[in-house]
Amino acid sequence: MLNPELFYKLKELFGEVQVAGENIPLAWASVQHYDGTLRKRKTVSGEQYRVCCPFCGDTRFRLYISYAWGLDDEVGFPSSKLVICHNERCEGNCDTSDMHFRNNPVRYLNHHLKPYLGLAKRGAVRVRQLQPSEQVSAEPLPYPKPEWVISLDQLMEQHPAVMYLRSRKFDPVQISKQYGVVYCHEYPVMRGEKDYSFLAGRLFIPVNCEGWQARVLPPDTSMKYFTCPGWRKSEALYNIDAARSCGTRYVALFEG
């Protein structure tokens, strides 16, 4: 973990805290804006601490706080861009009255973690330096090799993957042929000291040449969708290959 001090402060404030992108550092670049000015833009989000956003009723830990929050001078990136509510974008709430600071997670953190921010500004909070064995590559985890997967049309009707898809009104053969979904029976992958073999027994859904998601099968309900670590999903357009094959000049984008 890169910033244990911030992590435990957040646990005191929010209770349960989940970690995403553990041991991956933040990376950013200067990008020219449409008005000609240079803006700082994240290229790798890095390690983030996930909590349930209390401002929009979130229950899925969709408020992301970077390990680098408050460490502007050390990482060279503004803290105001390191807190994001992926549920309702609560960090964009413009109510600036003191009595309504709870409506905005940035001001909420500034209010409740003043002692931590004071230490950070004085240089008393430092990002932990990783040992070589702990360092995690920001490269995406690999998609399963052919020998690790079975095509859905080769599975028996009683197989959990087939039964799950049919319960969701999907045709396993169509899902396999049209979207390349496969059943992964083993995933012997290590990244640093982390073992990802727990992904075996899931449906793997390719998104593009780098990205994928793995869907757990019932009765397991923990971590239903596992997204490929290191994949820059914010820069990916889902189903782009199918859209291109339609031969039209326009596409419709929607959420969900």
Q: 47 by DSSP, 3-state: which?
A: coil
Q: Is the pLDDT of residue 122 over 80?
A: yes
- Report how far Cα 86 is from the mean position of its chain's Cα atoms: 10
Q: Identify the pLDDT of residue 151.
A: 94
Please report, rounded to a whole number, the percentage of residues in the chain having pLDDT higher than 90.
43
CA separation (Å) from 169 to 150, 156, 175, 181, 200? 21, 17, 11, 15, 24
In percent, the amount of the chain with pLDDT more than 70 equals 93
The pTM (predicted TM-score) of the whole model is 0.62
What domains can you pick out in the chain, each with its CATH number?
A: 4-121 (no CATH), 146-244 (3.90.980.10)
Q: How far apart are CA 168 and CA 180, in angstroms?
A: 17
* Of residues 74, 21, 28, the one with CA closest to residue 48: 21
Burial-class residue 168 by CB neighbours within 10 Å (0-12, 13-18, 19+): exposed
In this model, does residue 100 exceed pLDDT 60?
no
